[in-house]
Chain A
């Protein structure tokens, strides 16, 4: 019964989020919309590399890292944006919250819908990289890629849940919060440059970020290496590290959300409006 309710909530939230994202236009226009941001972001890296003389060995790993990075702001932001949008714009969050069962599956459904959107962007970038720009991966290990994606998306989803707990306490400018957190991961997880480039103190922060290991695993599934620092870590060890991060993020996400919602209930913020 509880499982059925959870599954139904996830499915409903997925469908709702998908409609909010996509039903304002036709499918072709939506696809254009879904691709514009990742393509423009990737072209920025392309032009930067070109401006710097396109040194060998940079673009391939950077391109596919950036493709995988599409999931970070999308999934992280999927949950917290659902809280803000439902609470402030549609003023429906209180009804979601008081429905039987937890609000977590509802938020997860939103994050998964955004993950699908990110998948569209990541796939398009990968295909364009491989077939249009000649940035061929050195190998392709679909099992490893699938494992990396499953662990990575789960980790991001639960980190996003903790962020959703925080977003109950910030004003509508929390919209920027998800973008900004994405920026933190962009820097500290060395999304489009090797970890080697970071100053040594920053590298320790980088090792503490699951996204660093996730992106490295994605690169390995494509036979790509980015710098020397992570090269020494064997692939099974990276899988283990990522699995440990995943387990920790599940705990952190559930605890973070629970703490956030309890405090929000205490302060009367579950149906607050804060836009300005």
Chain B
């Protein structure tokens, strides 16, 4: 069986035409990406907004041509064999509205099932089963323009799952969902994957904990390039030697940002609470021995320790180590 997804040197450039004295600009949304995902895998693509995740998915879904490189889905080239690729895929993009406001959920799903050649009986049976499974059965007759964000997203996910694609792409499936619905969604994804071990699912997210919980393997993508690719456990294990601390300080008086410039500390989170006069910093060090030095530099800035604890390495820490900045900072710098 061929890999569910294989890309080699996949690159996508966007060109901005010159205008009023500003020369033409080129932006590499995806830059030389090599990936291989096997049937049965639930694969996570992690990165901040603007990292290239959606562009990569659009290429794999036959909605966009790559500038160079190759991409295959189920052994079929997404450029040359796009019609056969479409028979094997589906995609759901989180947070994006779709559908016709005047139709009900059930009607809407039936319409989209007809694009994939399902008989009405088969489509309705799948739709009803999934609506029930996903806790949406009682709302099946509600019109789309009356749905909450969570309900709309559930409907969209069922749209992707119900056609039983060989490869399913989920672009930020839990974006904007509350914790309860996000958990339901993760359970639904797991159940769908467990139904048939030949299916593959590529999920993009910038919620690292979600990726850690769900995915068999993850790739960290930053500025269009894959920076690391392995199981979440292996990625974390590779950095297990790192010492991760969380410290709450008082008395920094607006100096908290200086901590980001510390030569030994890789800051993965920095929350300043001016009202309480506290700053909480999560950071990693090469080893425990580097801690006294870091603490003395904090003290030099006027910081007094309120609380200090040591933590297990998470994917978030790994991301900071690899990308050199937190997801939030990467999103800010890409704006």
Contact = CB atoms under 8 A, between A and B. Distances in A.
Interface of A: 91, 171, 268, 272-276
A80 B114 CA distance: 35
B100 interface: yes
A51 to B, nearest CB: 44
B120 interface: no
B101 A274 contact: yes
Contacts of B146: 268
Interface string B74-112: 000000000000000000000001001111000000000
Nearest to A88: B101
A272 B100 contact: no
Contacts, number: 18
Nearest to A271: B145
B12 to A, nearest CB: 25
A91 B98 CA distance: 12
Contacts of B101: 272-276
A91 B103 CA distance: 18
B100 A276 contact: yes
Contacts of B100: 275-276
| Interface of A (DSSP majority class) | loop
18 contacts: A91-B97, A171-B102, A268-B146, A272-B101, A272-B145, A273-B97, A273-B101, A273-B144, A273-B145, A274-B101, A274-B102, A274-B145, A275-B100, A275-B101, A276-B100, A276-B101, A276-B102, A276-B103
Nearest to B100: A276
A217 to B, nearest CB: 43
A197 B145 CA distance: 47
Contacts of B144: 273
B306 to A, nearest CB: 41
Given A268-B146, A274-B101, A276-B100, 8 more contacts: A273-B97, A273-B144, A273-B145, A274-B102, A274-B145, A275-B101, A276-B102, A276-B103
Contacts of B97: 91, 273
A275 B145 CA distance: 10
Contacts of A273: 97, 101, 144-145
A106 B144 CA distance: 28
Contacts of A272: 101, 145
Nearest to B144: A273
B139 to A, nearest CB: 16
**Which of the listed residues A91, A171, A274 has the most CB atoms from chain B within 10 Å of its own CB?**
A274
Nearest to A274: B101
A84 B103 CA distance: 19
A69 to B, nearest CB: 34
Nearest to A91: B97
B101 to A, nearest CB: 4
A274 B144 CA distance: 9
Interface centre among B97, B101, B103, B144 (most CB of A within 10 A): B101
Contacts of A268: 146
Contacts of B145: 272-274
Nearest to B101: A273
Contacts of B102: 171, 274, 276
A209 B301 CA distance: 78
A268 B101 CA distance: 13
Nearest to A272: B145
Interface string B138-165: 0000001110000000000000000000
A91 B95 CA distance: 14
B156 to A, nearest CB: 15
A272 B146 CA distance: 8
Nearest to A269: B145
B148 to A, nearest CB: 12
A91 B100 CA distance: 14
A64 B145 CA distance: 45
A91, A171, A268, A273 interface centre (most CB from chain B within 10 Å): A273
B95 to A, nearest CB: 13
B231 to A, nearest CB: 40
A181 to B, nearest CB: 23
Interface string B100-136: 1111000000000000000000000000000000000
B35 to A, nearest CB: 34
A84 to B, nearest CB: 13
A200 B144 CA distance: 49
B17 to A, nearest CB: 14
B55 to A, nearest CB: 23
Greatest chain B CB density within 10 A among A171, A268, A272 is at A272
A275 B144 CA distance: 11
B19 to A, nearest CB: 13
In the A-B complex, the 9 residue pairs with the smallest Cβ-Cβ separation, listed nearest first, are A273-B101, A272-B145, A274-B101, A276-B100, A273-B145, A276-B102, A274-B102, A272-B101, A275-B100
A171 B145 CA distance: 12
B5 to A, nearest CB: 33
